[in-house]
Amino acid sequence: EPEVTQTPSHQVTQMGQEVILRCVPISNHLYFYWYRQILGQKVEFLVSFYNNEISEKSEIFDDQFSVERPDGSNFTLKIRSTKLEDSAMYFCASEIGNTEAFFGQGTRLTVV
């Protein structure tokens, strides 16, 4: 069964460093998303991406965040200068356009 894959599963980084979280969405899907879940809190929407551009972003998704689909298969989330409060589980999701979003296993980001 096709699935969304995310790498790495766990990333530890120092405050102020840049991180790139990687996702391979399901191959025929057209819409791509990043969500995050701070420990003990709700899953929060960060950004949606369609047709090679951001279609919507939340207040969390400030100038420190960027997304890219560099090669037609990967979908990346970059955080330029990480802060302690960026520590969270980051989920990538994709959908073909029928509103059934499939999520990856998540990347746990720990900023120290």
Partner 1 sequence: GEDVEQSLFLSVREGDSSVINCTYTDSSSTYLYWYKQEPGAGLQLLTYIFSNMDMKQDQRLTVLLNKKDKHLSLRIADTQTGDSAIYFCAEYREAAGNKLTFGGGTRVLVKP
What residue ranges bind partner 1 (CB under 8 A)? 4, 6, 31, 33, 35, 41-45, 48, 50, 55-56, 58, 91, 93, 99-106
Using the minimum distance from each CB to partner 1, give the nearer residue, 13 or 58: 58
Closest approach, Cβ 48 to partner 1, in A, equals 5
Using the minimum distance from each CB to partner 1, give the nearer residue, 14 or 52: 52
Strand locations in 1-112 (E): 5-7, 10-13, 19-24, 31-37, 43-50, 53-57, 65-68, 75-79, 88-95, 102-103, 107-111
Separation between Cα atoms, residue 12 and residue 87, nearest integer Å: 9
Using the minimum distance from each CB to partner 1, give the nearer residue, 45 or 76: 45
Closest approach, Cβ 53 to partner 1, in A, equals 13
Closest approach, Cβ 67 to partner 1, in A, equals 14
Separation between Cα atoms, residue 34 and residue 103, nearest integer Å: 9
Closest approach, Cβ 38 to partner 1, in A, equals 12
Sequence-distant (6+) residues with CB within 8 A of 49 are 31, 32, 33, 55, 67, 69, 75
Structural tokens at position 79: 């955080």
Using the minimum distance from each CB to partner 1, give the nearer residue, 50 or 76: 50
